[in-house]
Amino acid sequence: MKTFSGRANPVTGSLDWVEESEEYDYHQEIARSCYADMLHDHDRNKKYYQGIRAAVARVKARGEKVIVLDIGTGTGLLSMMALTAGADFCYAVEVFKPMAEAAQSIVEKNGFSEKIKIINKHSTDVTVGPDGDMQMKANVLITELFDTELIGEGALPSYEHAHQNLVQEGCEAVPHRATVYAQLVESELLWSWAQLQPVEVEGARLVPPPAVGHCAGAHSVCDIQLSQVSPHSFTPLGPLCTMFSVDFSKPVSSAFQSHSCQFAALSGGRGQVVLSWWDLDMDPSGSIVCTMAPSWTYPQPKTAPWRDHWMQSVYFLPVESRVTEGEELSLTVCHDDYSLWYSLQSHSQQDPQTAAPPLRPCCTCQAHLVWTRPRFGELNDRRRTESYVSALRSVLREDSVCLGVSDGSLLPVFAHMIGAKKVFCLENSRMSKQVIEQVLEANSMKGSVELLEIRPQQLTSSDLRGEQISVLMGEPYFSTSLLPWHSLYFWYCRTALAGLLRPNATILPCTATLHMVAVEFQDLWRIRAPCGSCEGFDVTAMDEMVQRSLDWRESSEAEPHPLWEYPCRALTRSTAVMTFDFTQCVPEQPISSQGSLPLIRTGRCHGVALWMEYHITDDITVSAGLIEPISEQGECVWSRHRKQGVYFFRPAWESSGDGRAAVSYSFTFEPSLGDIKMDFSIASQ
């Protein structure tokens, strides 16, 4: 059955009616999942296999039949490992129906269907008894319910229910134990993702609103590939602390808990950020360990396993605290059933034994709800700000009437500070408008920028007090943008506002260019690579399901990824493949571009990276992609503020690097759809 649903187009701003089907949602879920990444994680699979074999052996040594409960079975891989290790029967629970169907196909293909029962339910709905889902309680509990924060996927409630209802007392658990580690650091880079910093404009100082500086921030964890954050970017103020452990072989509680670690400060500084990760002991002795520690903790960083399904966590303290070397400190972690949060106390300020546990962070200033963490980093980027200020300084006059079109942007504030006669600003939401109002009030500029909560298509001359716009400006940044070219919404806004512009109006940025480079990824390719066989088991049914999902309606599209977290090498030079002239209205006819880039470096070409560069004026450019020239070896340095587009080749192409082969490309921008169609091939030159 086909249905149609309305969706806001992030480029044109219009409401598009899109053909749907009952299968669409789960196809997208599968296509965007990390199942391939997990199956390619040999370190994870190996440690699980070792732990399962050891647990099965311990139960057999007691003379018992081995009955396994596998919660969150996914592909059924861990259940098949248990059967291979000698288990007598497995109950494999998977709540996601398409995944349960794939698991059924996989266990059948590997000859385990008689000894593995797939149960398509949430584990808390599973029953035990003659007429239940399970005939008896299990004596081995296998789970993979973890996320970057360890407990964010509901591991604690699931374990709690399993111990009460589904497993025997004294059962063996794989993993046996999880331990959470944390380290207090000072980091200008990381802190810039949490708080708005003051900025100098024309000799004046723009300060953040007090409500923002005093706000505890967003409660959600910041999960990143911490291996890509150089140790030079932070200063450890304390040792690596063991915060708490959870023993999964015993009853588990999902109730609120807090744990503290006392230590003497290693150096003086500002306590701002907590870096955190966890590891899994697969057996009671702790001899089989799967760790999420970042690569720079390894004696040989290149030996660290890569995974995207489990990363590391960054927690921002509610307020930064001055710390002196040798000072006695207490770092406290609290958790409910789904999330963690941290706080820092000095022994000289209060007794950690009697202090009340800190409340879960909650944004009270609205800025942390309007601006994402990368957006905070972008607003705090001094070099980027100076580029925009320089551009504004070069075009503004005493009689300039400015209109800002971006979400939660400080450009209108800068325009006023530089001396524009009148500044208007369009905001897409009331909350965003209120945040900018706070900035204006904190700097005694209330009323100096007129904020309008109205769409560009609805703006009239009366809204502008009869003024005509002489400078239309944008970063451009829009909260609805996912892919780099979604910011072309600025172009559609400019077109809608054409009747309100002076004949010689300045458009800032004046143009934008779409750039591409063909790359070899160090690791990111794994998320889209077929698995075929995993630890000796045939999982092609999973590959087939993922491929069907990728082929579902949107198969030939790029994906958004923050490439600063995912190292890659350029195998071609970078080039601008398409130009968008904002000084003119959006054309009615499509814009097309074709060409080819010789493969000048050896490697496996996994795909192309795509990004936008904004030409604010003729001589000032801001890149949302590469921020440094590509090195001789092909190393790329990417902006941390925006996600880039990645178009994966399936399969990857081999490059000899002699320039005889080239990546041919074809791009077509469809103005009516606001979409860029792209196609790539490899050809000899």
d(CA 269, CA 240): 17
Catalytic residue, chosen from 144, 320, 378, 559, is 144
Q: Is 588 a catalytic site residue?
A: no
Q: How far apart are CA 201 and CA 198, in angstroms?
A: 10
- As given in the structure block, the two tokens for residue 24 are 């669409």
Answer whether the bond into residue 476 is a cis peptide, omega within 30°. yes
Cα distances from 225 to residues 47, 54, 308, in angstroms, run: 21, 31, 8
Q: Assess whether 101 carries a catalytic annotation.
A: no
E-assigned strand segments in 216-288: 222-224, 235-236, 241-247, 257-264, 269-281
Nearest to 181 by CA among 49, 65, 389, 340: 340
The length of the chain in residues reads: 685
Nearest to 263, CA basis, from 154, 184, 349, 169:
184
CB 200 within 8 A of CB 288: no
Residue whose C-alpha is closest to residue 608's, from 639, 586, 636, 641: 636
Q: Quick check: helix, strand or coil at residue 210?
A: helix
3-class DSSP state of 565: helix
Q: Which two tokens stand for residue 616?
A: 């604010």
Sign of torsion, CA 82 83 85 88?
Answer: positive
CB 535 within 8 Å of CB 103: no
* Nearest-5° Cα angle at 82, 76 to 88: 110
Please tell me which residue in 20, 101, 108, 153 is annotated as part of the active site: 153
Catalytic residues: 144, 153
